[in-house]
Amino acid sequence: MPPEKSQTKDPMVEQVPDGIIEVHDPEIDTAQIMEQIRERIRRRRKELGYPRDKFPTFGAAAYPGEPESGDFDTDLYYHLRRANDLYYQIGVESSLAPSPVTNLPVVGRLWGLIRREAHNLVLFYLGKSAQQQVAVNRHLVSTLNRMVAQLQQQQADLRALRDEIKRLRETAEDGDGR
């Protein structure tokens, strides 16, 4: 249920119970005001010598998909798709083979407990390492995805330039032949 709004004397202004004031005046351009504020912040930061930080976007770059045209390297996109599907899958699980010692009375039960806990300890540290590897894999696959997306754009631009050159040549040949 939305919070109740209390009207002030001015019909262009309403106050919400949490202290926020909303202005509904068609002559006030909030986008322009926000841009002015951002510009003043940028200018002030520059005056004070703050470094201009560029922060990366969060999340991995998405798989760009195969190009619209049929002339692409199918092997490249197959392996890129597989890398996107598998980069986070690292199998770290307990797999204890049966041991004849565990069938012995008294000692077998103790040996099974020690063996299981030793495996769990190894799996704990292996899991820590696997988490780091997954992070590296995510960054590598993201980088590949972005590079392939740029390659797709460059190929499209190159195709457009070739078409333009062809068109200009045809126009020039038509002009020379007259």
What is the residue-wise DSSP string for the chain?
A: -PPP-EE-SSTTEEE-TTS-EEE--TT--HHHHHHHHHHHHHHHHHHHT-----PPPSSPPPP----SSS-S-HHHHHHHHHHHHHTT-------PPP-GGGGSTTHHHHHHHHHHHHHHHHHHHHHHHHHHHHHHHHHHHHHHHHHHHHHHHHHHHHHHHHHHHHHHHHHHHHHHT-
Average of per-residue pLDDT across 116-131: 89
Is 61's pLDDT higher than 50? yes
| pLDDT value of position 162 | 95
Which whole number is the average pLDDT over 124-148?
A: 88
pTM to 2 decimals? 0.51
Mean pLDDT of the chain: 80
- Give the residue extent of every domain in the chain: 6-48, 74-176
Q: Which of the four pLDDT bands, split at 50, 70 and 90, describes residue 31? A: confident
pLDDT cut 90: percent of the chain above it:
11
Mean per-residue pLDDT, 121-132: 88
Residue 12 has pLDDT above 70, yes or no: no
